[in-house]
Structure 1
Amino acid sequence: MSGARRASELPAWPQYDEAERAGLVRALEQGQWWRMGGGEVDAFEREFAEHHGSSHALAVTNGTHALELALQVLGVGPGSEVIVPAFTFISSSQAAQRLGAVAVPVDVDPETYCIDVAATGRAITDRTKAIMPVHMAGHVADMTALRQLAEDAGVAILQDAAHAHGARWEGRRIGELGSVAAFSFQNGKLMTAGEGGAVLFPDADLHEEAFLRHSCGRPPTDRHYLHKTSGSNFRLNEFSASVLRAQLGRLEEQIETREQRWPLLSGLLAEISGVVPQGRDKRCDRNPHYMAMFRIPGISEQRRNELVDALVERGVPAFASFRAIYRCDGFWESAAPGETVDAIARRCPNTEAISRDCIWLHHRTLLGTEQQMHEVAAIVAEAVEAP
């Protein structure tokens, strides 16, 4: 690699300034550092809900817990099934499996990498309790078709919006799409406090039950340990909430930058022989671009992994794409479907291909300058064309 072109230094992530510092001091000096005594979590929930077009938000410890809690209040448990995309981070399936429900993987669209509507329809049974579309890399799944499918089948939708802060579908924000949605604030996410999560609810009853369950079944005014439901401690702390309030304040500006840079970078990547950037449905009219994703169809997984290493060595924050969830040992530990890996793979050809040939770049790449988009594309071209 000696003498190879290197990218100039891209913006760092996470980003912070005096807003985060002021928030942490504010949380510190209020004298109460958990949500039942402080005001930061309450304020963040109001601000996050309003920003995403919802009346009810609940902040929790992380995105995986957000999914698990949301599924629980939707009635998911032993004996039920949850349909999930086969191409996703494994928390999507494990959240259902930890509740005793069977996670049913279905294939994804080869252009957007989001859950395939037709495959979802074929997977619905009388045990299906919920459909979990993942808004992959910030691209909203086909919520129009999925909502109709769910209504016809009488099942719930839980949006896994861990990548989709600030996203819109046909002009509507995530909280305006009529279903529960779960978000993550893990260190790499579009907003972060290192860890954290949130759930948006379309009605007050679901929010009230979720609040109880995220606080060991205990109402906020309880003084006598009258735990009304089962649950766990998924409460977010005041310090994390203060940081997230600051992060929310710059989210839209960062999305605007990424929305300007992705058309440039994706166009340059598309000019490289064999490279196919992630596509976009025009109905997704606001994509926050959690990842800059592209495929090299026909490449071997080993060669893909070598390309990732080469890009990282040249200063490009590249990663191999998610492995198909059914090809992870953890998927089979509990509440797995009654199928073999090969059987699932046969009905998920797009997932098989994308898991093998896809590369993603950290979203901080898209916070760079236009010149840096040309640099990154040139480095990708050199790495792909190298023997």
Structure 2
Amino acid sequence: MPDSGEEMLFPSWPQHGEEERTGLLRALAQEGWWRNGGSEVENFEREFAGHHGAPYALATTNGTHALELALEVMGVRAGDEVVVPAFTFISSSLAVQRLGAVPVPADVRPDTYCLDTESAAALVTPRTRAIMPVHMAGQFADMDALEKLSVDTGVPLLQDAAHAHGAQWQGRRVGELGSIAAFSFQNGKLMTAGEGGALLLPDEESHREAYLRHCCGRPPGDRLYAHLTQGSNYRMNEFSASVLRAQLGRLEGQLEVREQRWAHLREALAAIGGVVPQGRDERGTLHAHYMAMVRLPGITAQRRLALVDGLVERGVPAFVGFPPVYRTEGFRHGPVPGGTEELAAHCPVAEEIGGDCVWLHHRVLLADVPVLDRLAEVFAGLVRAL
């Protein structure tokens, strides 16, 4: 077993430099520090939309609020249903429940861990108002099949792209796929200002509606308190936007490094008996690699936690995988479509992945190759010792 005192060093996260410092000082020098008094948020929205091929972007307070706002814009109301992946971070279903709507968990694919189209299709009813694919760990869900499902059923897609900054599907960027997409800029994400979120919007009408609802129902430039619709204050501040403009500037280079490093690390991890790395749909022409995910089929909960603890002791940012959303206590506190075991029976793959998945933070994939080789050695030693 590897020496328990050994610690590996990986690049720090978040990363920052003179660009962030300059941006913060630029925002500080403005007359206003909110979006209606400065220019950082509007500039960031324009740059983020352009980078992702979308007509419009709208910055928000965080990624969960971005999902809530998107669902509101799509007309989701109390009692409606939204199909979500069973294997995802809780925000995907939580955003639905916060509107009084019902998240309906669908199973995921065993290779990419993304929403399974056939499972989603079987759950569409007259009450379904949206289908929410999650691009898990930066790997695209099968957008070809999902777009066909959307056309066939008339139910629109909402891309949860919290893991997929800069990713591409068959050469198309997230904003070029024609559906609303939600992003997160939480501290661990591929771009971060500590917190924050954004929507990519496909047309002027959806952008106008989103803007109104994220600004307490007020239109741009309003001086008469003309609250035209329901909403809340989901506005991003100028300091966060200035940091994100700098983060966007280094995203492309970091994605290139992660693509290269994952190819190397994946091969090394796949050579370890009992370890199965996340698969890749090759139609995803650029994988964002928010996480380096692997499965260990048949591992017990105790041994999985021991493996993660062993990695963390050696300086590796490692985590257990998400439980299926319906197995979290919080899920039961909102509108639900059935009992836990009833939902589990329809999601056998999510049940397995939720119990055997381990993931490493994306900063691991910014490390040099010798560090990754050592990581694989340590991973193998810990697995053998379980």
Q: Corresponding residue for 2:325? A: 325
Point out the more displaced range, 29-38 or 60-69: 29-38
Deviation at 1:30, TM superposition (A): 1.3
Q: Corresponding residue for 2:344? A: 345
Deviation at 1:7, TM superposition (A): 4.6
2:212 & 2:176 partners in 1: Cα distance? 24
Q: Corresponding residue for 1:382? A: 381
3-state SS of 2:157 partner: strand
1:38 & 1:299 partners in 2: Cα distance? 52
Deviation at 1:343, TM superposition (A): 0.9
Tell me which amino acid in the other structure corresponds to 1:177. L
Tell me which amino acid in the other structure corresponds to 1:201. L
1:93 & 1:287 partners in 2: Cα distance? 24
Tell me which amino acid in the other structure corresponds to 1:79. G
CA contact (8 A) 1:5 1:379 kept: no
CA contact (8 A) 1:7 1:376 kept: no
Q: Corresponding residue for 1:366? A: 365
Deviation at 1:5, TM superposition (A): 7.1
Deviation at 1:8, TM superposition (A): 2.9
Q: Corresponding residue for 1:89? A: 89
2:328 & 2:354 partners in 1: Cα distance? 12
Unaligned runs of 5+ in 2: none
2:217 & 2:140 partners in 1: Cα distance? 33
Deviation at 1:4, TM superposition (A): 3.7
Q: Corresponding residue for 2:130? A: 130
Q: Deviations over 1:317-344 (max 9, x none)?
A: 100111110001111112111x111111
CA contact (8 A) 1:86 1:326 kept: yes
Q: Corresponding residue for 2:179? A: 179
1:167 & 1:6 partners in 2: Cα distance? 35
Q: Corresponding residue for 2:218? A: 218
Q: Corresponding residue for 2:196? A: 196
3-state SS of 2:294 partner: strand
Alignment pair present for 1:260 and 2:260: yes
CA contact (8 A) 2:7 2:313 kept: no
Alignment pair present for 1:110 and 2:116: no
Tell me which amino acid in the other structure corresponds to 1:136. M
3-state SS of 1:156 partner: coil
Deviation at 1:3, TM superposition (A): 2.9
Superposed, 1:17-36 pairs within 5 Å as: 17-36=17-36
2:315 & 2:33 partners in 1: Cα distance? 39
Deviation at 1:2, TM superposition (A): 8.2
Tell me which amino acid in the other structure corresponds to 1:374. D
Tell me which amino acid in the other structure corresponds to 2:13. W
Q: Deviations over 1:193-217 (max 9, x none)?
A: 0000000011110000000000000
Deviation at 1:79, TM superposition (A): 2.4
2:85 & 2:48 partners in 1: Cα distance? 26
CA contact (8 A) 1:170 1:283 kept: yes
Q: Corresponding residue for 2:37? A: 37
Deviation at 1:372, TM superposition (A): 1.0
Alignment pair present for 1:249 and 2:249: yes
Tell me which amino acid in the other structure corresponds to 1:69. L
3-state SS of 2:225 partner: coil
Q: Deviations over 1:160-183 (max 9, x none)?
A: 000000000011000001100000
Tell me which amino acid in the other structure corresponds to 1:179. S
Q: Corresponding residue for 2:101? A: 101
CA contact (8 A) 1:7 1:372 kept: no
Identity of aligned residues (%): 62
Superposed, 1:304-323 pairs within 5 Å as: 304-323=304-323
2:224 & 2:131 partners in 1: Cα distance? 38
Classify 1:5/1:374 alpha carbon distance in 2 versus 1 (closer, same or farther; 3 Å).
Answer: farther
Q: Corresponding residue for 1:11? A: 11
3-state SS of 2:83 partner: strand
Alignment pair present for 1:80 and 2:80: yes
Classify 1:2/1:148 alpha carbon distance in 2 versus 1 (closer, same or farther; 3 Å).
Answer: closer
CA contact (8 A) 2:2 2:378 kept: no
Unaligned runs of 5+ in 1: none
Tell me which amino acid in the other structure corresponds to 1:368. A
CA contact (8 A) 1:7 1:379 kept: no
Give the number of equivalent residue pairs: 386
TM-score scaled by length of structure 2: 0.99
Superposed, 1:226-241 pairs within 5 Å as: 226-241=226-241
CA RMSD, aligned part only? Answer: 1.0
CA contact (8 A) 1:169 1:283 kept: yes
1:311 & 1:280 partners in 2: Cα distance? 24
3-state SS of 2:360 partner: strand
Tell me which amino acid in the other structure corresponds to 1:343. E
3-state SS of 2:188 partner: coil
Deviation at 1:221, TM superposition (A): 1.5
Deviation at 1:386, TM superposition (A): 0.6
2:369 & 2:35 partners in 1: Cα distance? 42
Tell me which amino acid in the other structure corresponds to 2:93. S
1:372 & 1:111 partners in 2: Cα distance? 26
4+ aligned runs moved over 6 Å, structure 1? none
Superposed, 1:286-305 pairs within 5 Å as: 286-305=286-305
Q: Deviations over 1:262-295 (max 9, x none)?
A: 0100000000000000000000110110000000
CA contact (8 A) 2:2 2:382 kept: no
